[in-house]
Every structure is written in structure tokens, then in C-alpha cells.
Amino acid sequence: MPATPEPYRLHVPDEAIEDLRERLGRTRFPDQAPGEPWAFGTDVEWMRGFTAYWRDGFDWRAQEALLNGFPQYKVPIHGIDLHFLHVPGKGAGAMPLLLSHGWPGSVFEFLDLIPRLTDPAAFGGDPADAFTVVAPSLPGFGLSFAPGQKRFGAEEIADCFAGLMTGVLGYDRFGAQGGDWGSFISSRIGYAHRDRVAGIHLNLLPLRRDPSMAGSPTPEERRYLEELKLFLKEETGYQWIQGTRPQTLAFGLTDSPAGLGAWIAEKFRAWSDCGGDVLSVIDRDRLLANIGLYWFTGAIGSSFWPYYARMHGPWPIPEGGTVDVPTGYCQFPTEILRPPRSMAERTFTDIRRWSVMERGGHFAAMEQPDALAAEIRAFFRPLRG
């Protein structure tokens, strides 16, 4: 018999909050490298101001209360205690939908998106499009982490989440949606558990990063291959250290909140559609809530494991394998990679919806929750029932 989920509420001890403030007050900042701000990583002056606000202005309890406004649970599954939000949709016909976040994200990414999916009528949508949303913390991330627990790659996470949806929650058929690692997980579920999913919706396409994949590229494919070449050269340093020496990096980021904040905030700036000003599109308090969850749970080191697993194991969709369930995709303009449909169709054989968005980037659920919710509703509308 599957285990019964137990209700959960997050409460960080006062002592932990005070310890964080003291550590932030003792931050030793590096000097600023010559050249343009942000050219070599997180800008020192920006980080000074961000750290000062984190120490003196940020209200963790307010963000904690926002998360606790959603029904949360923990359940023992696949050898860990898995944390998840389980938010009923408004109406009898609500479709079960699995939302999977990525790195360096958390369930805090979804706090604006979830109500738009569970109660679309409250946002001007059709109540017939409602979902019952299940949004787990990835194993090894945040509230799905405990010191010493086993590590998960994308394949194992997909199996765990499929087991949560069907074995624990009793949803025989469900939809899956995700970006970043969530796109790998959703795609793997579509591949390995195709009998359980009505369809998958992605806001990042997890294609093999093989520049030789197009022998005679079209102009659009050539554009993508140049984009990929630049990304591999300039933007993957974090992947190499997280994927080869995760334990070493974990010492610094587990001990220094400013170090952790700089490591994560730089990615939010680089990958969002912000024109260089990350706080213009990502709420500062929500960003700090996301960083704070990594800090208080001590989960940054374990959150690196999917990178290690990917670098030392096969691609989650085996070579020659395809994802044959109905697939939807929305391409945001500053997503880290934007493969053309011709390449995507070699892996995803049943693309039903392909949308090019006007604004937004990698953190679509935070940057453009209305647009992302509308796309998810439109894709799954004919797949209900």
C-alpha cells in the first residue's frame, strides 16, 4: 500500500533567521574586476545592496506565509520524504497537472502561476480549463532534502513523480509541465510513463547538445547551432563545476549566504528577459525567498546532483528514443536555447502546439505567469477527458 501524505507547514526557527542575518552582516566582499559590471559574474556593488536588503529589509516570514497559503504535504516515496504542493482546482472537471521546477529554482517559482491554473475564472479565463496542481520540490532540493539522503538524476526524479501522481495520489492519467530540469523530467515521464500522461507541456526543449545534429542546416538550424556554440563556451561553467565537483562547491555556498545569493542571482539575471535589471522582472522578495529556501534547508549541494548524473550517465531520452505523447512548447525570447521545430520533431514526434512568445525568459512562471498559464490551458484543452 502506498504511504499516506501528511500535511506540512514550513516554519524556519527564529534562531536560523538570526544566524543568517549575522552571517550577512559579516560578509567579506571581493574586489570588483576591471571592466563592465557583470562582465565576469555577479557585480560587487549590486551584490552589496542586495545583501544589505536581505539582512535588513527582507521579511522571510511574509514569504513563508505565502507558501503556507497553499496545501502542502510530505510523503515517504523512493527512499526519501518528498515535499509537494497539492492544490485542488475549482470545479469537478479539474485536470491533474504535475508542475516540475528546475535549478536554481524551487516551488516559490510557481506561487503566481498556480492560482491561474487552479482557478482560471478568477483571472478572466474559462473555469472549464481548471487544473488540480501537484508541484513537488525536486528530490534533493529544498523541502525534499535531508542530510545524507540518496541522490537523484532526472530519470529517477521522473519515476518518483510518476509514482507520486499515480501510486500515491491515485491519478491514473495526468498532464506534466516544466522548464529547466522540469522539462527533462516531464519529457522523461512522456517517454518512460507514456501510458500515464495525457500530454506534456514544456517551456524549454531538452535536446541533445550535439552541434553535429544538423548535417545540412537550414538558416534557422544554423542560427540555433551558433546560439548553442556560444552558450557552451560562455554560459556552462556552472554546469561543469556542479557536474564534476559538486561536493567542493557545496562548502562555500553552504557556509556563505552572500556566496549562495551571488551564485543564484547571477543566473536569474543572465537567463531572464530583464535587459540587465533582474529586479525589473523578478520580484526581489520572491527571489530572496527562493535563495533563502536553499539556505535554510542546506540543500544547495544536493541540488547539483542532476548535473553530475547527466555528465556521468546517458541522456534522459536514450539515443534513438522518441517522446511520442502529445507535446506543447512555448518559446520565450530570452530562453537560454531556442531550438527550431525541425530539430525538436526528431525527438518529440507529436508536437500539437508550438508558440513563440513576445516577452519572457527562462523563469517563465515568475516572469510571465499570465502568458504561461494561458499557453498551458490552451494546450491541454483538447486533451481533457
CB contact burial 286-319 (16+ within 10 A = b; e otherwise): bbbbbbbbbbbbebbbbbbbbbbbbeeeebbbee
Q: Between helices 237-244 and 246-255, what is the axis angle to 10°? A: 100
Cell of 365: 512562471
**CA 261 – CA 265 distance, rounded (Å):** 6
Residue pointed to by grid coordinates 502561476: 113
Active site residue 193: no
- Residue 303, SS3? helix
> Could you confirm whether 324 is annotated as catalytic?
no
The residue annotated as part of the active site, out of 171, 294, 308, 329, is: 308
Q: Map grid coordinates 559590471 to a residue.
A: 37
Measured at the alpha carbon of residue 182, what is the angle toward residues 179 and 188, in degrees to the nearest 5? 120
DSSP element (H, E) containing 2: none
CA atoms within 13 A on the CB side of 250: 17
Q: Pick the catalytic residue from 43, 180, 273, 285.
A: 180
Q: Which three cell numbers stand for residue 275?
A: 535587459
362 labelled catalytic: yes
Annotated catalytic sites, by residue? 180, 308, 362
